[in-house]
Structure 1
Amino acid sequence: MAPAGPDHGGSGTPEPDTGTQRRLARRLVALQSAHEFAEEIVLWPAVLRHCPAGDALVTTALEQERQLKRTLEELAHISPGSQEFTQCVNTLAGLNRTHLTYEENQVWPRLQDGLTARDTVRLARQWSGARRRAPTRPHPRLAARPVVLGTVGLAVAVVDRTRDGLTAR
């Protein structure tokens, strides 16, 4: 009879596959970083233009995104398989849930009310383009203002993508 344990179908907890965790964490960091960049350069300015009390909506959203980016930055530097890594992933998941709930319940209905069909198509194209040109790492100290993101942010994205290519990320 084989001993019980992770490799033998017993009740033990299997060891984490740290290589897979590292790859998934890097991918999550890249996707989330690009997503937040696109929101900051395209969607939040639209909320300011088209929503009553848009400044309050954007202020809350940007603070949530700053927290997300700080946590993404931490995740990028923590060793997979560690308790700290697991805690960081759980923190990130909670921050994401809070942010998505805020967007879905507070922001998007108000923005939708202020947009025409043409506006919606234009914003979708702009967001998609911004997403493709976005940084692949979080930059929580980079000001979330379109003029900064459109210049410094795009330069940072080129550096990020160059680093990705050099490190096969």
Structure 2
Amino acid sequence: MVELPVPSSERTLALGEKTETFVTFWLGEFYFGLPISEVVEINRKLEITPVPLAPAYIRGIVNLRGQVLTAIDLARRIGLDGENAAEYNLIVRDEDEDKVSLLVERIGDILEVPVESIEEPPEKIEGMERRFVRWVCQLPERLLVILHTRELFQESG
């Protein structure tokens, strides 16, 4: 199991400023985040057992201390092109407390972001399906794309 990174201090927050905290990670050149409340743990390369006839974005299942979880290739799920070298299993849960392993390339920081800098996503997002994007946040040197966990768990229609 990988320890969660120490919070990033990209800028000093004002005393009493409302913030949201995200676990961040990379898929290709994209920088993503998930609310920290939805992340259970991070593991490096759990063994994946393929599942026949599963959708293309489902890599298979993983055994996490006796609990069987679906392993989702996050890049494929959200519509990113290209093959990613998934190194980490980001274990997340949805509102119903169901857990899933999201396969990501690289883990970033724990990032505390001022609420007023979090915005609705634009209508068109180049390179991925918009329905998976909950919010965006322009950081000083890059854009943080905050994913919508509930949509990731939904069946494709």
Q: TM-score, normalised by structure 2?
A: 0.23
- Computing the radius of gyration from Cα coordinates, the structure with the larger value is 1
Q: Which has the higher strand share?
A: 2
- Point out which structure has higher relative CO (alpha carbons under 8 A, 6+ apart): 1
